[in-house]
Amino acid sequence: GSLNIDYVYSLDHLVLPGETISSNRRDIFCGGKGLNQSIAFAKAGAKVYQAGKVGQDGKLLLDVLERHGVDCSYVQTIEGASGHTIIQVDRKGENSIILYGGANRMITPEDVTEVLSHFTAGDVVVLQNEISSLKEIILQAHDKGMKIIFNPAPFEQKLLEYPLEYIDLLIVNEVEGGQCSGKTEPKEILTTLYNRYHTAVLLTLGKEGAMYYDGDDMESHPIYPSNVVDTTAAGDTFTGYFSNALL
């Protein structure tokens, strides 16, 4: 999974095309969908190994993972910069994100083979779309009989060429679900994706809660209302806890 240093700028509103605005607050957080999901998964109680790559500036990322009990034996530190993001957060807690892949994009098929040699049938691999060699991970993990949970975020058209029929659970929000399925209505997103890939699908719907479909049951669950401060990584936290509940 991905590991990013998140540079978070607090703003009155998200910057518009051609506009320059000042921010009087910048926070630096550890992030990346992979790191966020690993920490949530570990906090929920699972034994979690993070695999991936960071640059020379990535020690803070390893430190925070280890503090939360995530095993980082399969994270390599390489020359160059770690992945990073520039995140704007407005007064309502909405965000927009620029992602620079950095070391996350240096993962090779050989790295995948090496890391997966330590895992076996029954283990679960949780993936997001912020690293290189994703297709190789899906193919090799499937060959080993591992369970694969895939959060195709951020969405890119080329993801649809991957062997998504090998995924055991797809986790998407409404935007990604729409992009993957070509549909807009939640039930149609779920049934279209299930019928196409025969994989269970979990669809998160913001304040409308979440829905799930695995060919038999279509379930939905409302939200627990809370005071929104910053929605960054809310989906990742949900993914980590849901994955643990599933285990």
Q: What is the contact surface with ligand RIB in residues (CB under 6 A)?
A: 2, 4, 6, 31-33, 36, 85, 97, 99, 130, 232-233, 236
Cβ proximity to ligand RIB: between 154 and 218 the closer is 154
Cβ proximity to ligand RIB: between 12 and 27 the closer is 27
Q: Rounded to 10 degrees, what is the CA torsion of 35, 36, 38, 44?
A: 160
18 neighbors 45 (Cβ within 8 angstroms): no
CA–CA dist 129, 136 (Å, integer): 13
Cβ proximity to ligand RIB: between 37 and 140 the closer is 37
Which residue do the tokens 């992602």 mark? 99
Tell me the closest approach of the beta carbon of residue 104 to ligand RIB, in angstroms: 9
Cβ proximity to ligand RIB: between 123 and 154 the closer is 154
Residue whose CB is nearest to ligand RIB in the complex, by number: 31
Interior/surface letters 179-202, b for 16+ CB within 10 angstroms, e for the rest: bbbebeebeebbbbbbeebebbbb
236 is catalytic: yes
Residue of 12, 63, 230, 236 marked active site: 236
Tell me the closest approach of the beta carbon of residue 215 to ligand RIB, in angstroms: 28
Tell me the closest approach of the beta carbon of residue 35 to ligand RIB, in angstroms: 7
**Residues annotated as part of the active site:** 236
